[in-house]
Amino acid sequence: MKIQCMGRSMPGIRMFSCKDRRNTAGIQCARSDIKQQLHECCGHEWQKITAFQEKLHFVIGMLNPDGTLDTERMAELIKAAGNKEKALHRAFDVCIDPMKALEEAIELGFDTILTSGQKETAWEGKEMLKALQEKSAGRIEILAASGIGAESIEKLLPYTGITSYHMSGKIVVDSMMKYRKEGIGLGLSERGDYALWQTSEEEIVKAVKVLKTTG
């Protein structure tokens, strides 16, 4: 099992993975202090963890104008990536034929497809995710994304059979800036200039616990 988490608004984004005998939780996060949180979550099983180290992955995605995968150009990038893990990103979610794209991704040598099931959120795309998981039959990892947290994993895992999830663990915190210039913005209209997106260790640990108990 795996949770992949994209750290936000923090320096030094790193990729970590932790493994025990039963599952794998891949944690991509900007803060190494999540290690302590996972230690508390895993308890004595932490002693069985065989890896908590940096990993390098390549995330690739290209479409032709007609909505099909650009297999020719992606094949060149996959070759250049060598033996590193390779994921097809959410270009997959806007392709014209996801089942055909699934087979092409496998043939190209991708290890993972990052997808919300061609919907805004993974829960909305649960039918497609389930179909992809069944058709993939272990030949490629289906990594469910968008709107992922402990609550959605608890529903998606038994419904789709998917055991790998990509999440941000995002929370919004207020900037530490005390002086705030009025009458000017820096273009961050979505959340404002003084609202910061950060990865919450608590949200990640909650998701890991759900995987360990539900799976």
Q: What does the pLDDT read at residue 155?
A: 95
Query: 177, exposed or middle or buried, with CB in 10 Å at 0-12, 13-18, 19+?
Result: exposed
Give me the residues paired with residue 117 across strands. Answer: none
Class of domain 56-162: alpha beta
User: Rounded CA gap, 155 and 174, in Å?
Assistant: 31
3-state helix, strand, coil in the chain (%, to 5): 35, 25, 40
Query: 85, exposed or middle or buried, with CB in 10 Å at 0-12, 13-18, 19+?
Result: middle
Q: What does the pLDDT read at residue 164?
A: 93
- Residue 211 structure tokens: 């995987």
Of 18, 20, 37, residue with least CA distance to 169: 37
Q: What does the pLDDT read at residue 107?
A: 98
Q: What is the pTM of this model?
A: 0.72
Task: Write down the domain spans for the chain.
Answer: 56-162
Q: What does the pLDDT read at residue 45?
A: 46
User: Rounded CA gap, 32 and 170, in Å?
Assistant: 16
User: Rounded CA gap, 91 and 94, in Å?
Assistant: 6
Q: What does the pLDDT read at residue 25?
A: 36
Report pLDDT digits (tens) over 11-60: 333 333 333 323 333 333 334 444 555 555 555 444 444 343 345 678 99
Angle at 169 between CA 48 and CA 131, to 5 degrees: 85
Query: 130, exposed or middle or buried, with CB in 10 Å at 0-12, 13-18, 19+?
Result: middle
Of 164, 115, 197, residue with least CA distance to 1: 164
Instruction: Classify strands 170-174 and 195-199 as parallel, antiparallel or unpaired.
Output: antiparallel
The stretches in the chain having pLDDT less than 50 are 7-34, 44-54
3-class secondary structure per residue, 1-37: CEEEECCCCCCCCEEEEEECCCCEEEEEECCCCHHHH
